[in-house]
Structure 1
Amino acid sequence: MRLPCVIRLVNKNQPKGFIFENVSGLASPKNRDNLELILNELANTGYCVKWKVLHAYDFGLPQNRDRVFIVGIRRDIERCQEYKFPKPLNIHPKVLDILDELKNINFVEKVKLDANTLFKGVIPPSRTRFQKDDELNDFFIFSDLRNGHTTIHSWDIINTSDREKMICLTLLKYRRSKKYGDKDGNPLSFEDFREIITDIEINELNKLLEKGIFRLTSDHKYEFVNSKNMTGINNIYRIILPTAEIFPTLTATGSKDHIATVSIHASHPQEYKNLFLEKIYQPQKYIPITAKHACKLQGFPLNFEYHKKDEVAKKQFGNAVPVPVVEYVAKELLRVLDI
């Protein structure tokens, strides 16, 4: 339901109170004017209105889901200004704690590492609150466009020589250079490669075409087959380790995220990556997200009945509000309303 429709319904029906939820992007700087407009419109209908970004992780769910919550209480109610958003519960189960398939996996504290070992001295600015700067990631991303310490490339899972790996990493490094084009990712010609790797031969590039790692563009330049960031490789974008604190945001459109069914531990990034390939990826010790998983990650009760078709149910859960979050938001609303 669109927000203007919701505002009209509130204005028409004048409930004692209401709770709205929307994506966290509504509170971002570029959308802040829109948020203020919504708040003002709701206030003009006769309500004391408050808002806050709340995260599912802070209410006992291992899911990376933050949302804007807007609470309104009719202004003629004596205590309408008393509403306070709930504080974090400080209960943080890991993914393995809520999924039945992972119950027998033991958690082992990760080894602390220095930034030079993990990031060669330069910590990426894109790291989230759930990615520690002194620990190995709890997930592996399948992408030919990244090169983090837990990135799996197509040349990691296709039989390639060290020389071929070096050629692939060359394209990865230079494809974003403005020297080769104005796009965020630019294919390289044989001549471009020759400037960087002076002894490269055309047959080496063609071999990577044969292996399905490179493709030729219409202007006869070389680009990765997997050249879109979120498409992943072999229908996998991420594999989350069971010991992870957090699972990526569930969405209505689904995802290519999977969960590993065994755990690994290492004290060095390359060892970690090798173990992942050997112990998890190659023997296929991972499972896709099911509706049952989504139900638990959203905090629904164990006896909750959802759609029999898994894909339909996952879409519904992806659109849902995390139950513990709205429960605590609603409890405070009921307290203020004395209901």
Structure 2
Amino acid sequence: MAFLLENVSNMALQHKDTLYRLLSSFTDIGYNMGFRLLNAADFGVSQSRERLFIVGIRKDLGFFFEFPEPPLIRRTVHEAIGDLPQAATVTKNTFEQPLVPNHTTNWASPSPERLHAVILNPRNQRRGMRRLQWEDVSPTLTAHIAKDGREFLHP
């Protein structure tokens, strides 16, 4: 029997004691353990997402898991989504609804006016909304809406 666990990178960076207790517990019950921080961007995903991977393999199976060396294939945002239809062109003189097609404003999403301001002033952005860069990998995209799940905008 073997298992794979995946967790946030901070478990290895800021919670080492917890990580080593976990590894030790599995070693004590008969597993060969290994762990490694891997970044999805190094494996061709257009997103910088560093995660901790932990692998346990029963000792009686007689082998250790070896983590793959990443091929260091970096895909840019443009390579990932560059074939999508062009976003609407926005200028200071145009602000017509719908500025963002299929966009419904609610408590967690920015208003069309806020989107307009960010598009017109890409250098004047605060955490909460910023544009992706065409020729770079995307920062980690999160799935929760509470604080940063709506953070990134089309380049």
- Alignment TM-score, normalising by the size of structure 1: 0.32
Matches within 5 A, 1:120-159: 151-152=123-124
Matched residue of 2:70: which SS? coil
Please provide the CA RMSD for this pair.
2.0
Structure 2 distance, partners of 1:87, 1:102, is: 35
Structure 1 residue 102: deviation in Å?
Answer: 6.7
Whether contact under 8 Å (1:96, 1:102) holds in the other structure is no
Structure 2 distance, partners of 1:85, 1:43, is: 18
Structure 1 distance, partners of 2:84, 2:133, is: 13
Q: Does 1:42 align with 2:26?
A: yes
Matched residue of 2:54: which SS? strand
Q: Which moved more, 1:54-63 or 1:249-258?
A: 249-258
Match of 1:27 among 3, 12, 17: 12
Structure 1 distance, partners of 2:31, 2:44, is: 30
List per-residue Cα deviations over 1:49-68 (Å, max 9, x = no partner).
00000000110011010000
Q: Does 1:241 align with 2:136?
A: no
Structure 2 distance, partners of 1:70, 1:17, is: 11
Whether contact under 8 Å (2:74, 2:137) holds in the other structure is no
Matched residue of 1:18: which SS? strand
Q: Does 1:101 align with 2:84?
A: yes
Structure 2 distance, partners of 1:94, 1:257, is: 15
Larger strand fraction of residues: 2
Match of 1:255 among 135, 150, 154: 150
Whether contact under 8 Å (1:64, 1:249) holds in the other structure is yes
Structure 1 distance, partners of 2:33, 2:150, is: 35
Whether contact under 8 Å (1:56, 1:63) holds in the other structure is yes
Match of 2:49 among 65, 71, 75: 65
Matched residue of 2:46: which SS? coil
Q: Does 1:17 align with 2:2?
A: yes
Matched residue of 1:68: which SS? strand
Amino acid aligned to 1:151: R
Structure 1 distance, partners of 2:71, 2:134, is: 22
Change over 3 Å in CA distance of 1:48–1:240 after alignment to 2? same
Whether contact under 8 Å (1:240, 1:247) holds in the other structure is yes
Structure 2 distance, partners of 1:255, 1:27, is: 27
Larger helix fraction of residues: 1
Structure 1 distance, partners of 2:29, 2:142, is: 32
Structure 1 residue 151: deviation in Å?
Answer: 3.4
Structure 2 distance, partners of 1:37, 1:102, is: 50
Whether contact under 8 Å (1:64, 1:248) holds in the other structure is yes
- Alignment TM-score, normalising by the size of structure 2: 0.68
Higher relative contact order (CA 8 A, sep 6+): 2
Structure 2 distance, partners of 1:77, 1:255, is: 45
Q: Which moved more, 1:94-103 or 1:67-76?
A: 94-103
Structure 1 distance, partners of 2:21, 2:59, is: 19
Structure 1 unaligned residues grouped into runs of 5+: 1-15, 104-141, 143-149, 154-228, 232-236, 261-339
Structure 1 residue 85: deviation in Å?
Answer: 0.5
Q: Could you say which residue in structure 2 is the equivalent of 1:54?
A: 38
Structure 1 residue 41: deviation in Å?
Answer: 1.2
Matches within 5 A, 1:284-299: none
Matched residue of 1:76: which SS? helix
Q: Could you say which residue in structure 2 is the equivalent of 1:74?
A: 58
Q: Which is higher, the Rg of structure 1 or of structure 2?
A: 1
Whether contact under 8 Å (2:6, 2:54) holds in the other structure is yes
Structure 1 residue 248: deviation in Å?
Answer: 1.4
List per-residue Cα deviations over 1:250-279 (Å, max 9, x = no partner).
21211221122xxxxxxxxxxxxxxxxxxx
* Identical residues among aligned pairs (%): 34
Structure 1 residue 96: deviation in Å?
Answer: 1.1
